[in-house]
A = this chain, B = another copy of it.
Amino acid sequence: MTNLDKYTKPSVAVDLAIMTVIDGDLHVLLVNRPEDDVAGWAMPGGFVHIDEAPEDSVERVLSEKVGAKPVHFEQLATYGALGRDPRGRVVSIVYLALCPPEVLRDADLAKVVIDWEGEIGGPAVAQMNGARLPLAFDHAAILGDVVKRLRGKLDYSPIAFALLPDRFTLREVQEVHEAILGKPLNKPPFRRKLLDRGMIVPTGEFETGSAYRPAKLFEVKSKE
């Protein structure tokens, strides 16, 4: 680093942790980076232009690289350690985005496994078809923070519903919770909490295609 670098400034980027739950496992959308650049798999992202608010950059990256719009997105945290991008000084604002799995059908989805040995808060490990994916930059640590945030907000915010289709069964909600928490939950207490919370209402319709007793379909109660 030369002395002149002191008088230039960091670049600002947004990175997106686009999460979904498939078959009881938490997944994240990753893009494979070319070998001659920074190798490994990374969350999609882009620079914040001078005439853009960070949220606008998020929308742009979403339409460029993903196509679909997530049901919910929120800011997670900003990462700005000195060596995190070997190509130069980048401060990344990371956003957490949640979609139902149908929306991300044709994207590269990696299963996220959290490598928390006893203590809370370690980095996450990404797998695809059972093989461990190398993650670029500090994205393993960031994904660990993503899962921590998801777990923390799970039972006092409606994030689980953002991972489900418009109409869903109570079993599906429980599957999403279990995927995020990484542990099984008891059915009766879970159902009670969910219904007592008053955030969802039955639609009057029922699941179809099931071999056995079809479950009630619920939807999120509208605000008014």
Contacts and interface: CB of A to CB of B under 8 A. Distances in A.
Interface of A: 1, 5-12, 47-54, 75, 77-78, 80-82, 89, 91, 93
A48 B12 CA distance: 11
B12 A51 contact: no
27 contacts: A1-B51, A5-B50, A6-B51, A7-B50, A9-B9, A9-B11, A9-B12, A9-B47, A9-B49, A9-B50, A10-B12, A12-B12, A12-B80, A12-B91, A48-B80, A50-B89, A53-B80, A53-B81, A53-B82, A54-B78, A75-B77, A75-B78, A77-B77, A78-B78, A78-B93, A80-B93, A91-B91
Nearest to A7: B50
A110 B78 CA distance: 28
A10, A89, A91, A93 pick with most chain B CB within 10 angstroms: A10
A174 B54 CA distance: 39
A53 B81 CA distance: 5
B50 A6 contact: yes
Contacts of A78: 54, 75, 77-78, 93
B91 A6 contact: no
A174 to B, nearest CB: 24
A91 B57 CA distance: 13
Contacts of A49: 6, 9
Q: Determine which residue in A48, A80, A81 has the highest number of CB atoms from chain B within 10 A of its CB, and name it.
A: A80
A221 B53 CA distance: 44
A50 B93 contact: no
